Structure 1
Amino acid sequence: MSTETQTETWNDRFGASLMRSLTPPKIMLERGQGCRVWDVDGNEYLDFLAGIAVNSLGHAHPALVEAISDQAAKLVHVSNYFATPPQLELAERLKRITGAGEAGRVYFGNSGAEANEAAFKLARLNKGTDGRKTRILALKQGFHGRTMGALALTGKPALQEDFLPMVPGVEHIDSTVAALEESIDDTVAALVIEPIKGEAGVVDLPEGFLLAARRLTEEHGALLILDEIQTGVGRTGNWFAFQGHGFEPDAVTVAKGIAGGFPIGALVTFGWASDLFSAGQHGSTFGGNPLGTRVANAVLAEIERADLVAGAVTKGERIRAGIAGIASPLVEEVRGTGLLIGVGLTGPIGPAVNAAALERGLIINAPNESSLRIAPPLIVSDAEIDEFVSILAQSLAAVAAEQGTATQETSA
């Protein structure tokens, strides 16, 4: 079958069967190995998106494959009426790597959105002794998911407008210390924030913002809930981004890279926040199933064994240096930490650069018109980083040339 026919066949089938809430895919992927994937026509791509910071160990990693196959032959699902060894092991592991310690507690779901729904309920339970704590604060341009509670936390009106009214009680504030000081008082139940705004284009919070958030929430008895779904599991050079700032939150949500591509999410609570939920107040049929928790244990163990958390720092530095070395007039700034990197562009050319990269065999992402997002697997090699820089340079040059041609035609 020809490339054109094969692609058209997949696109036709996608359009005929998938919900229209999904945008048509640019390519149809069939298999992967390490940091590379292949489409149905046999074309090879260097994957520097990792399923949006999900494939921590890349594709088809032996540790992940072995965990899935071995556990599937033993026990896949038992419902939450029963405990299983992988579930308990993962809960204990998450308490250890987050630093939640003995007082910590873990709730398992199946996705980041589900973890944030649990966090939303946790916030509602923090009513205060007089019941005055009814407000939940989140940040403008933050992203926490598309289910209704998570969507209410998401500070993007364009995503909300078709589904109004939102769940009440959520206020979105600017990402400034002044906004924190003005907004947080004794009526606030929780502040929910991403340490780095991933969907906004990998945007760092201002210097001192997280420490101010911790101080003010403690002063007013509010929960500080960190959405580490994209920043967690070693991606920023710590197990979790907050650990690079010297404080502990009251709760953290995790998903994406925790199981390297297998769907699982979790809410981890610290200290007094662990006492807010009581039996029957929340649950999930599939959450914490033995297959998902076994895979997550295997992925986290491999990240630890291979020292990939520390590796994210040096590899991230190499990527940043490589981007800076391109010296493209289209690049305005490089943001982010470790292997979660945002490239700020000089204009609304993100989709064009993204398309040019894909044509040249590189998978990245344009979360908005003026940014690129780069989030390769944690196992990425120096040689693959150098290959990425070369393809990105070619892609930027191609878009710059197109811009120059368009400018000349307009002037003519």
Structure 2
Amino acid sequence: MFRPFSLFVGVRYTGARTRNSFISVITLISALGLMLGVAVLITVLSVMNGFERELQTRILGMVTHLSVHGREPVEDWRALADRVLREPGVKGAAPFVELQGMLTHRGTVAGLMVNGIEPEAERNVSIVGDFMWEGELDSLVPGEYNMVLGYGLARKLGVELGDKVVLVLPEASLSPAGVTPRFRRFTVTGIFRVRAEVDSLLAYVSVSDAARMARQTDTVEGVRLRLDDLFQAPRVGWTLQQTLGNGYYTTDWTRSHGNLFQAIRMEKTMMTLLLSFIVAVAAFNIISSQVMLVTEKRANIAVLRTLGATPGMIMRIFMVQGTLIGLAGTGFGVLLGILLATNVSDIGQWIESTFNAHMFDAYFVNYLPSELQWGDVGVIAAIAMLISFSATLYPSWRASRVQPAEALRYE
């Protein structure tokens, strides 16, 4: 059977026992350190991917991916929706009227953003219907002046279903009593909760009721769009701007929430860089164990040289041995990391239930999210193997420089 000399001897050296047990311990520690570093890196990145997914689902599920605004009030929003839905990548469209004002209830006042929506169409662009805490989104019937509040806003005002609240708009109206702010009484018919900042800032009313409050009867400001890929919002917006002409303009989520996702991605990058030092430390252990092994094997190296082995062969022998150690550490680390990443949510829930520790109540999710991405696993494994291979170069080069006469002089 054909066996490459360097590979055969390198594998034999890896499996053979050394006379110095300390070297074996250092080698084992090197492999274990590499395994733990890879596993921790995979687990942490999976958790960060999970938080990014939840942010994208919950926050950007409530925030519009892309909006098309009319420079003048839009009379036929369905015709506009039909036009924008022809653009590739646009998944849904719904009309809107936005109002800013204050909500009062029994002397308590809170500022808020009011979205006038059409409940059936809103489900195509928002997840609010899936996160109703109480009541129904369909209760926003035109002309009945009903309102759906965020959970935080409802708690701040102390309102429940059926309570009356007063919406006050900053626009002034002329009346016999003079200049007065515009206001209207609404009935709370629903409360939504997505565990995000919008719970304390946002309320929904019927689009026709909002249009009346804004004195835009039977018109809307534009349509909100949901995209297949929200990160394509600037490109799709630019294309729609060119298609629709000067009568419309577009805005997308990157202008209002782009900094949030940039911060998360930067944090993920920095965390990857910092945790990579764990793998680097394990690689230094590989260097130390290989240097000690070369020192112990000086006589064997000399014998191989006298039998005709070239310095390149000797170097490849120890490169094979170090690479096998790195391969073992990386392989077991990947398996452990995948196991932890796929079960970290259950582990977090077990810790909370066992020790009665509510670790995630302060966050917008009440559990530890995790999303394993195979691309991350491949990159981490490749980096670990590259670092491990690089760690074998110096000890292997040093082994190739051993002189047979010097090594055998005192044997």
> TM-score of the superposition, structure 1-length normalised?
0.23
Higher share of residues assigned helix? 2
Asked which structure has the greater RCO (Cα within 8 Å, sep 6+), the reply is 2
